[in-house]
Amino acid sequence: MTAPAARPPRYELHCHLDGSVRPATIADLARRQGLTLTAPVEHLTVAPPDCGSLTRYLTYIDLPLQVLQHPDALTRAARELVEDWHRDGVVHGEVRFAPQLHTRHGMTTDDAVRAVATGLAQGRAATAVRTALLLCCLRHQNPDESLAVAETALRHRDLVAGLDLAGDERLHPGSPHRPAFDLAHSADLPCTVHAGEAAGPDSMWEAIDVLGARRIGHGVRCTTDPALLHRLRQDRIALEMCPTSNVQTAAVPTLTDHPATRLLTAGLPVTISTDTRTTSDTTLEHEFTRLRHSAGWTDDMEVQAQRNAADAAFHTQS
């Protein structure tokens, strides 16, 4: 009898902190902060399989954001995420968050960055998982706010590994946020951009040519543009694909139809991540198991996806 293949070291490149807080931690933080929950915490934080849109999916992050308004809460969430990565076989994990969303009770963006970085450091010390921290600009916010986020990233260049632009690209173009990304590039801070999730190939061209993205968050709507596929392959612009989340937000209809399978086979730098471990109730183990069952993924395909992720990883804190 042939022994099962050893699981390759795993790399998580696309993981949002506010969507990856353990439900039990959210409940505990709510209790400590005097918040009354209107339903069981899982009902408030775990999205259904058929959200139908990114807009509805994001509502399940409202409660985690509410309880992550204090430095100790951010530190705890970050530390526990590293512990969860370790259990999931992750050797390198990148977490992203929007520090400007954590200032409701007096924290500054600098405070928020330091709090998350402290939690990551605690997690690294306990598990030896390498980590990287990315800051998110948000499409729906004023570009001046994005510039302030980029400035925050540069003030903490020793802690921050990259800059991201998140949000619904169907409703909010990325071009107005170019000053933030120009500032990042001037300091050699690598950038990734959410694109090709809610909107089509044009959003990905904008991410690459206007914002200078080295990686694309999701990018599932690239398949109809041969020139874009050529550019992605030629420049090795990694695709941070999150299969379960992509189905929940209706970016793709089913896991069987997910473009990660044919794009990986065609030589594009596809990577697999969870997006939001709690909101999507998933792990990397679950993502690859579902791809095996629904899309015929093999051991070799997972190995290639992990190699792609290792090649595309941003600077780590070790």
Q: How far apart are CA 113 and CA 99, in angstroms?
A: 7
Interior CA angle at 16 toward 218 and 100, to 5°?
Answer: 115
| Strand 90-97 to 10-12 pairing | parallel
Q: Are residues 261 and 291 in contact, defined by beta-carbon separation less than 8 angstroms?
A: yes
181: Cα within 13 Å, side-chain hemisphere: 25
Q: Nearest to residue 243, comparing CAs of 206, 208, 283, 272?
A: 272
Active-site option among 12, 80, 94, 197: 197
At residue 16, what are phi and psi to the nearest 5 degrees? -90, 125
Q: Based on the residue annotation, tell me whether 197 is a catalytic residue of this protein.
A: yes
72-76: Cβ within 8 A, 24+ apart:
72/115, 73/29, 74/17, 74/102, 74/112, 74/115, 74/116, 74/119, 75/115, 75/116, 75/118, 75/119, 75/122, 76/25, 76/29, 76/119
The pair of three-digit structure tokens given for residue 113, joined into one six-digit string: 């960055």
- The structure tokens listed for 107 are 């924290």
CA distances in angstroms from 13 to 20, 138, 257, listed in the order given: 14, 18, 22
What is the C-alpha to C-alpha distance for residues 193 and 174, in angstroms, rounded to an integer? Answer: 9
CA-angle at 274, arms to 269 and 280, nearest 5°? 145
Q: What residues are annotated to the active site?
A: 197
